[in-house]
Amino acid sequence: MENLKRTPLFDEHVRLGAKMVPFGGWEMPVWYTSLKDEHHTVRNNVGIFDVSHMGEIDIKGNEAIRFVNYIITNNVEKIKPGEIVYSPMLNVNGGIIDDLLAYKYSDEHILLVVNASNIEKDFNWIKKQAEKFDVEVKNISDETAQIAIQGPKAEEMLQEISGVDLKEIPYYNFTEGRINGIPCLISRTGYTGEDGFEIYFDREAAVPMWRKLMELLPKYDGKPAGLGARDTLRLEATYLLYGNDMTDDITPLEAGLKWAVDMEKDFIGKEILLKEKETGIRRRLKGIEMLERGIPRHGYKIFVGDEEVGFITSGTVSPTLDKPVALAMLNKPYYKKDTEIEVEIRGKRVKAKVIKTPFYRGSVKTRK
């Protein structure tokens, strides 16, 4: 696997016998035992994920708030220091360059956490936009490690080595403190639909942090989990995956992310979204379930009669629900709930229908 980047935990994964695969330019563990086993472990107990491949871009300066608000659709001005917003970041055509988390330290300091495969693209785009603002943009991805601790027992397990009271961190909030004696940004966020935390710290401390968490897992019937389970967990919870469910030519309104767009402020791509609101969107991302045997996969075409009306963006057999589920981009008017459609699977049309999402709700906390 030449030219693939490796996280500081690569040797740990190999030592544990993980199956390593290429992902977004990185060599990452897809599973250690099996996808299903790790999926159920996170749903029922606790799992840890190496997510050090994710990107971190630091924005500092007098105009940090104004600048970040200009490049993302959600609003960092409306949140307090210690809070986080999820947001798409758009190109001038209203398409999604990436989806990210914005961590607000203060009005002068915001951390953007971006997808691994988009780090360079995002950094170059952000740097270019920053030229007109009084801000400093720094890519700190290479010096930052990140581990996600996810599942209903995540808080209890992590509390054993946490210097801060984790109960005091609400959903989509963060604080700074020590975990296993290591200074961390501790964030109550995740990509699984379960309660949990994502911790960011210096990459030099990655191995001792990972080993300590591995030591704690057996007590809570937990396990390390790979990208395979991360994907099935996020799909059941209907969290979107960049490159599948969102791309440079899909708008946030088409992707069902209207809730993450604040039309009261200015941002790149806003004019396109205003036009879409006026004319109505031509297609929409929706959940579907199969009515006949067949597994819907990314890229499969969708038909109503002889008309091609959309395509599968993400699909799998849900380990929790024990049935195939998928997200699909469907043309108007075929995205209405209960609409019957057919997915073309290996040359055969298989019946399915549009359903309400999320497919599954876990232990994830809410803002309330």
Q: How high is the pLDDT of residue 367? A: 60
Instruction: Give the whole-angstrom CA distance, residue 337 versus residue 289.
Output: 11
- Quick check: 257 and 297 in contact, CB under 8 A? no
User: What value does the mean pLDDT take over residues 157-176?
Assistant: 98
Q: Is 310 helix (H, G, I), strand (E, B) or coil?
A: strand
- What confidence tens digit (pLDDT) does each residue in 83-99 have? 999 999 999 999 999 99
Statement: residue 1 has pLDDT above 90:
no
Neighbours of 40 (CB within 10 A): 16
Task: Please state at what angle helix 64-71 crosses helix 119-130, rounded to 10 degrees.
Answer: 120
- What confidence tens digit (pLDDT) does each residue in 13-29 have? 999 999 999 998 999 99
Instruction: Give the whole-angstrom CA distance, residue 231 versus residue 277.
Output: 31
- What confidence tens digit (pLDDT) does each residue in 171-204 have? 999 999 999 999 999 999 999 999 999 999 999 9
Burial class (CB in 10 A: 0-12, 13-18, 19+), 236: buried
Write down the mean pLDDT value for the chain: 97
DSSP H helical segments within the chain, as ranges?
Answer: 10-15, 35-44, 64-71, 119-130, 154-159, 206-216, 227-236, 270-279
Statement: residue 368 has pLDDT above 50:
no
- What confidence tens digit (pLDDT) does each residue in 249-270 have? 999 999 999 999 999 999 999 9
User: What value does the mean pLDDT take over residues 264-287?
Assistant: 97
Residue 45 one-letter amino acid: N
Q: How high is the pLDDT of residue 366? A: 74
> Domains in the chain, start-ordered, CATH in brackets?
10-51+142-236 (3.30.1360.120), 282-355 (2.40.30.110)
Q: How high is the pLDDT of residue 41? A: 98
Tell me phi and psi for residue 270, to 5 degrees: -60, -40
User: What value does the mean pLDDT take over residues 101-107?
Assistant: 98
Q: Which residue has the tokens 């930052």?
A: 144
- What confidence tens digit (pLDDT) does each residue in 211-231 have? 999 999 999 999 999 999 999
| Number of helical H runs and strand E runs in the chain | 8, 19
Q: Kindly state the DSSP code that residue 361 receives in the 8-state scheme.
A: -
